[in-house]
Amino acid sequence: MAKNRVVITGIGVVTPIGSGKETFWKSLAEGKCGVGRTESFDPSKFSSQIAGEVRDFDPSGWIDTKDLKRMDRFVQFAVVSATEALNDSKIKVENEDTNKIGVLIGSGIGGLSTIEKQHTILVEKGPGRISPFFIPMLIVDMASGQVSIRLGLKGPNSCVATACASGTHAIGDSFRILQYGDADVMLAGGTEAAVTPMSVGGFCAMKALSTRNDEPGKASRPFDRERDGFVIAEGAGVVVLEVLEHALHRNSHIYAEIVGYGRTGDAHHITAPAPGGEGAVRAMKASLSDAGLNPEDVDYINAHGTSTPLNDKFETIGIKKVFGGQAYKLFISSTKSMTGHLLGASGGAEVAACILALEKGIIHPTINYEYPDPDCDLNYVPNTAIKKDVKVVMSNSLGFGGHNAVLIMKKYEG
């Protein structure tokens, strides 16, 4: 059976460096940092007091006040970015078979802020005061559920929760759904709003977060020798995936074609990556095999690049194992150097960054790269964007629990 070709025709993003694809891209190309001192709660008692917060977010133009009160912040991010992506694709839902348009949006944590608030109500006021919307607000699938409800999309509707790989898995699984003809269009990506006291406290207890509190703008520094942990962040990234024939019939603007998807498990540790990036290696190789491409065909890798000591080291080793000598010819950068780590939303935002790099002919930098690390000796596009005619890009996402997901996209050729 011949598989459908799948293209991307719409982009929607909500991030600490800007919401909307144009603002997001401008910030990426300029190397703008979205990390600052945490403002959503008092961070003074925490070892890490910095975050990538979405500070310009105003959902009132997208969601009415009554509905906003029934949505956790992570769902609000998803609804806004998904609606934006659908608008960008110029799909008119009223002219489509809505049974063939689906939604698959992932989240690593879901409605943690709702859990925290309602737990306080339980303790202080008793169970009779818990909101009847408590459960529907917090459950991870409600990002996809609310998008489906609000946009009237009746096709495949699901979610994925694979920690930091959630957004990438959601896009990859949607790619498969479209390849096999189970839908014509999928809205896919990730969303997260976990800059909360319990979340930050938990990551601090793990010693996973950067404590460069006096220099927030320099705290997220992937592949740099002085990196000391990731910076927690929030946001969403959703793209519209479409069967090629459907997109051509609409005379759509096509950003890119998705051609490869690889997914593996480390079977190693609940948080640490497998030694030598072994799981990531298999995922990268699987994505190349799925795409029918050779390592030398790839121009650019959007790395997982979290700014943690082990992840950056093992991802670099993994890239060398997959690409051999070609690894030193690759352009590699980390979006997280600017946004911080969006956790389950990372893959969605980073796929958006990849396809905009294909379209714009520019590779965004890895900012805060000041001190070379002998363990990380590849070309991470330090500090300044470069012009490059990019034809094939790879996006890596590696999550707690040993979840690895890799996507390959390329310029669309008719």
CATH code assigned at 355:
3.40.47.10
Told to judge if 164 belongs to the known catalytic residues of this protein, a careful annotator would answer yes
Same domain for 374 and 401, yes or no, is yes
- pLDDT value of residue 215: 98
Q: How confident is the model at residue 235 (pLDDT cuts 50, 70, 90)?
A: very high
Work out the average pLDDT over 343-370. Answer: 98
Q: How confident is the model at residue 335 (pLDDT cuts 50, 70, 90)?
A: very high
Same domain for 310 and 243, yes or no, is no
Told to judge if 169 belongs to the known catalytic residues of this protein, a careful annotator would answer no
CA angle, residues 174, 279, 51, in degrees to nearest 5: 70
Same domain for 205 and 350, yes or no, is no
Told to judge if 364 belongs to the known catalytic residues of this protein, a careful annotator would answer no
Closest CA to 236 of 287, 158, 171, 319: 171
Q: Can you give the length of the chain in residues? A: 414
Work out the average pLDDT over 278-302. Answer: 98
Same domain for 45 and 122, yes or no, is yes
- The pTM score is 0.97
The boundaries of the domain holding residue 274 are 261-408
Report the number of distinct structural domains present in the chain. Answer: 2
Work out the average pLDDT over 268-285. Answer: 94
> Is the pLDDT higher at 155 or at 1?
155
Task: Tell me if 363 is assigned to some domain.
Answer: yes
Task: Tell me if 2 is assigned to some domain.
Answer: no
Q: How confident is the model at residue 414 (pLDDT cuts 50, 70, 90)?
A: confident
Q: What is the DSSP string of 295-317?
A: GGG--EEE----S-HHHHHHHHH
- pLDDT value of residue 135: 97
Same domain for 229 and 319, yes or no, is no
Q: How confident is the model at residue 3 (pLDDT cuts 50, 70, 90)?
A: very high
The residue whose two tokens read 């069967």 is 243
Same domain for 233 and 295, yes or no, is no
- pLDDT value of residue 205: 98
Q: How confident is the model at residue 116 (pLDDT cuts 50, 70, 90)?
A: very high
Same domain for 244 and 265, yes or no, is no
Same domain for 281 and 243, yes or no, is no
- pLDDT value of residue 56: 84
Give the integer Cα–Cα distance in Å for 399 and 343: 8
Same domain for 160 and 227, yes or no, is yes
Taking only the tens place, the pLDDT of each residue in 74-103 is 999 999 999 999 999 999 999 999 999 999
Final residue of a domain: which of 210, 225, 249?
249
- 314 Cα distance to chain centroid: 20
Same domain for 129 and 215, yes or no, is yes
Catalytic residue among 169, 246, 304, 364: 304
Catalytic residue among 33, 164, 204, 354: 164
Closest CA to 348 of 159, 136, 181: 159
On whether the CB atoms of residues 242 and 185 are closer than 8 A, the answer is yes
On whether the CB atoms of residues 257 and 5 are closer than 8 A, the answer is yes
Give the integer Cα–Cα distance in Å for 240 and 12: 9
Final residue of a domain: which of 249, 276, 305?
249
Q: What is the mean pLDDT of the chain?
A: 97
Task: Tell me if 324 is assigned to some domain.
Answer: yes
Task: Tell me if 180 is assigned to some domain.
Answer: yes
- pLDDT value of residue 282: 98
Final residue of a domain: which of 219, 249, 279?
249
Closest CA to 356 of 83, 86, 88: 88
Q: How many other β-carbons are positioned within 10 Å of the β-carbon of residue 227?
A: 27
- pLDDT value of residue 2: 85
Taking only the tens place, the pLDDT of each residue in 140-197 is 999 999 999 999 999 999 999 999 999 999 999 999 999 999 999 999 999 999 999 9
Task: Tell me if 280 is assigned to some domain.
Answer: yes
Same domain for 143 and 224, yes or no, is yes
Task: Tell me if 413 is assigned to some domain.
Answer: no
Same domain for 30 and 166, yes or no, is yes
Task: Tell me if 254 is assigned to some domain.
Answer: no
Helices (H), 97-156: 112-125, 134-138, 142-151
Q: How confident is the model at residue 315 (pLDDT cuts 50, 70, 90)?
A: very high
Task: Tell me if 274 is assigned to some domain.
Answer: yes
Catalytic residue among 169, 341, 364, 403: 341
- pLDDT value of residue 364: 98
Return the H-helix or E-strand segment holding 14.
strand 6-15
Please determine, for residue 372, whether its predicted confidence score (pLDDT) is greater than 80.
Answer: yes
Please determine, for residue 1, whether its predicted confidence score (pLDDT) is greater than 80.
Answer: no
On whether the CB atoms of residues 399 and 208 are closer than 8 A, the answer is no
